[in-house]
Amino acid sequence: MAEIGPGALLGVDFGSVRIGVAACDAERILAFPVETVPAGDQALTRLVELADQYQVVAMIVGWPLTLAGQVAAAAARVQSQAEELSASVSVPVWLVDERLTTAEAAKKLRQAGKDARRGRAVIDGGAAVGILDSVMRALAAGQRIGRRVGR
């Protein structure tokens, strides 16, 4: 039961200041950070450019649900941003539960001996990689990945 056909994916971790972006190869073997996009007026344009540049078949947006799995203010904001993104790209956009991915990325940075406070952009990219990693594993196992936005 594949929800997304074969090909590269772009992972997006929307934040209020920065947007972490990651991609994976078409074979979905490796996810890697692409860049950190400043949140703001030009962010949507840049995300569309990155989707084209990496020739992705879908975009995966981290959905920051509460620990109880509920949609609170942050998740509602991201859902709205994902809907705008979906209207701007020709590929499907998926909302995927991203609970704890940012915390996990910060933990890995600290374990590598880096200052998490100074590495916010690295953390955002790492969170996007974590989101893609979980989706790649789920797709490989034939599991459902989240909720498709729009269309």
**How many CB atoms sit inside 10 A of residue 9's CB?**
26
Cα–Cα distances in angstroms (integers) from residue 69 to residues 8, 55, 65, 101, 128, in the given order: 28, 32, 5, 14, 19
Find the CATH number of the domain harbouring 42. Answer: 3.30.420.140
CA nearest 89: which of 127, 116, 50? 50
Q: Does residue 37 lie in a domain region? A: yes
Count how many domains the chain has: 1
Q: Does residue 3 lie in a domain region? A: no
Q: Which percentage of the chain shows pLDDT scores above 70? A: 80
Q: Does residue 73 lie in a domain region? A: yes
Q: Does residue 84 lie in a domain region? A: yes
Tell me: pLDDT of 37 over 90: yes
Whole-number pLDDT of residue 112: 52
Q: Does residue 2 lie in a domain region? A: no
Whole-number pLDDT of residue 111: 61
Q: Are 124 and 16 in contact (CB under 8 A)?
A: no
**How many CB atoms sit inside 10 A of residue 48's CB?**
15
Q: Does residue 1 lie in a domain region? A: no
| 82-134: pLDDT as tens digits | 999 999 999 999 999 876 555 554 555 556 555 555 555 556 677 889 899 98
Query: What mean pLDDT comes out for the span 16-39?
Result: 94
- Determine the distance from the C-alpha atom of residue 117 to the mean position of all C-alpha atoms in its chain, rounded to a whole number: 21
Q: Does residue 77 lie in a domain region? A: yes
Tell me: pLDDT of 1 over 50: no
Whole-number pLDDT of residue 151: 61
Whole-number pLDDT of residue 147: 92
- The pair of structure tokens assigned to 119 is 């590495």
Query: What mean pLDDT comes out for the span 14-41?
Result: 94
Range(s) of the domain holding residue 117:
9-149
Q: How far apart are CA 27 and CA 8, in angstroms?
A: 7
Query: What mean pLDDT comes out for the span 44-63?
Result: 96
Q: Does residue 110 lie in a domain region? A: yes
Q: What is the pTM of this model?
A: 0.84
Higher pLDDT residue, 77 or 150?
A: 77
